[in-house]
Amino acid sequence: MLISSAMDDNFYAVQTVRETPSAQSLASEAHAVVAYVVRQRWYKKRQVSPIGGALMAVSPCGGGVSWAVARLDYAKGASDLYNFPVCLCRRGEVEPAAVICTAERGRVLCDAVYHAGARSRLLDHIMRGKPQICAAGVWAPQCFLRPPAATSGDDEARSMLVRGEQSNSSFMFKEGLVVKLFRRLQAGENPDVEIGHYLTVRKGLTQVPRLHARLRLQLLKVPGERRVQALACDAAMVQQLIPAAVDGWTAVLAALDRWLGAGHDLQALPWLDEARSLGQASRAVHDALADVDEAGPIDFLPRAITKADLSAWKAAASQQAQTACNALQAARPNLTGAAAAAADRLLGVAERVGIHALLQALLPTLGDTSTPPGQGAPWGRCIRHHGDYHLGQVLLRAPRQFVLLDFEGEPLRPLAERRRLHSPLRDLAGMLRSLDYAAYSACRLLSATEAKAGAVASAAFCRAAQQAFLTGYEDGLPAADFLPGRRDWRADLLAL
């Protein structure tokens, strides 16, 4: 069946794809799909290999492209679900790595995100807002903003696949849109979608890319299907593309490289204005996330930090510290020189006093949670937050103008945990750690003769940049009830 390359009800012209793969043909290639999925970076590795799989919820979305779900089965009834749009095309139309298997008449079944025409069709379907019903469920787009006018030219020049992503697949369009496919499907709302919707559609915040549309998948309980229960989840989102922007990690490393190469004058530390502006943008986002009334989303309502929260966070920090010490102990035979001496000091202290006692000594104001130090919410409030905040999650789009990205949280953690309320200081701690790592990374590029002086200079930069970031976050703004009431409490929660 030939599919027309231009249809009146589409926003976009679509490169011709020869035939829509049927549910029957996809099911027959399920073994090849499983083999393809386990080779991808977005595949969640388990301790055991899958024992089988299937293609589910196959739904043609037009233009020869189908939405589909790849189910990977494991022993004892466990399964994982992956968002897996596919299309049939000629072998030379996609790169070899995108080919799942050979189909009839010399064609190939491929991962649709690698086919330019298929990418246009996926965007078109998400933006149209027309549900597609299949035997196993419904693919339901929801459009918030009509898309900008399509650019002229062929599909190859119109879109580009973003390479190197760990957990999702994204592709960019010249008309200023980005499509993000959430590869691993989990029941519930994806934080990137719901926070993006709240901040941009409801609050009108400009420090976050505008959310244009989302794609929800409602899987139904299929008779005879024992591995997959009914669930609703986010499958994709479309948001604003920020043009001519550079990520924060690249920007700060470039500034450090120029500064260190020019003699690292300690009276002219780099990137401090940018760090201060980044603090201001971070505060604007936190203020908006904390500004939720009773008519707002119930999962966004702030609540006071409790004694139970502090105890749980301390226990989690102790566990993380113990895990790090165990890893350091295992790596100790491979360390030499100053690194070995530093490891011995840390391991010695941990062995003498214990991880828990060490944390108690380092964080004195958290030592007694039996009596809250004040009334109301003295330790601040838990709010929705970024959850995986670092320099790679921000874009510098103009001098001292930042945009915050990827509110998905840490992708490997369970969805319920990523949607959980937490102190916003968790985000600040992540950014402070990222600035520290940037300073360390810049030093690793120096020659042996420059390393010692460079390390001193980078440490000075790190302290100043971290302070500038915190200054931008706090100075000139009214006190926020989601922050602890005293600076020593804030310092201890940041350290925790």
Q: What is the pLDDT of residue 486?
A: 78
Select, from the ranges 355-364, 391-400, 472-481, the one with the highest average predicted confidence (pLDDT): 391-400
Percent of the chain with pLDDT over 70: 88
The pLDDT value given to residue 154: 73
Query: For position 24, what pLDDT does the model report?
Result: 56
The values of phi and psi at residue 182, to 5°, are -85, 110
Cα–Cα distance, 83 to 337 (Å, whole number):
48
Give the per-residue pLDDT at 438: 96
Estimate the crossing angle of helix 248-261 against helix 448-474, to 10 degrees: 130
pLDDT band at 492 (very low <50, low <70, confident <90, very high): confident
pLDDT confidence band for 223 (50 / 70 / 90): low
Is the CB of residue 64 less than 8 Å from the CB of residue 87?
yes
108 contact partners, CB below 8 Å, separation of at least 6: 88, 89, 90, 91, 94, 99, 100, 101, 102
What confidence score (pLDDT) does residue 1 get?
Answer: 24
Tokens 């933006």 belong to 127
Q: Which of 111-120, 146-155, 169-178, 303-312 has the lowest mean pLDDT?
A: 146-155
Digit-coded pLDDT (tens) for 15-72:
334 455 555 555 567 789 999 999 999 998 888 889 889 888 989 987 789 999 999 9
Q: pLDDT class for 430, splitting at 50, 70, 90?
A: very high
Phi, psi of 209 (to 5 degrees): -60, 140
- Alpha-carbon distance of 174 to 172, in angstroms, equals 7
| Residue 349, pLDDT score | 82
For residues 448 and 288, the model is more confident at 288
pLDDT at 375: 53
Q: What are the helix and strand counts (H, E) for the chain?
A: 14, 18
Work out the burial of residue 192: count CB atoms within 10 Å of its CB; fewer than 13 is exposed, 13-18 middle, 19 or more buried.
buried
Instruction: Say how many C-beta atoms besides its own lie within 10 A of residue 64's C-beta.
Output: 26
d(CA 91, CA 431): 45
DSSP 8-state code for residue 163: P
- 237 or 261, greater pLDDT: 237
Which is more confident, 311 or 419?
419
Q: What is the mean pLDDT of residues 352-363?
A: 70
**pLDDT of amino acid 417:** 93
Higher-pLDDT residue of 365 and 111 is 111
Phi-psi region of 153 (alpha: psi -120 to 50; beta: other; left: phi over 0): left
Q: Both tokens of residue 184?
A: 């691993």
Report helix angle 248-261 to 272-290, nearest 10.
Answer: 160
What is the identity of the amino acid at 453?
A
pLDDT in tens, 56-72: 898 998 778 999 999 99
Whole-angstrom Cα distance, residue 139 to residue 130?
9
pLDDT tens digit sequence for 78-107: 899 999 999 988 888 999 999 999 887 778
What residue ranges in 326-435 does DSSP mark as E strands? 381-382, 394-398, 401-404
Question: Residue 19's pLDDT is what?
Answer: 52
In the prediction, which pLDDT does 20 show?
Answer: 59
pLDDT at 315 exceeding the cut of 70: yes
pLDDT more than 90, % of the chain: 54
pLDDT at 194: 96
Q: Is the model's pLDDT at 367 over the cut of 60?
A: no
- pLDDT at position 28 is 60
Report the mean per-residue pLDDT for the chain: 86
CA–CA separation, 280 and 470 (whole Å)? 9
Q: pLDDT per residue over 449-461, tens digit each?
A: 787 888 889 999 9
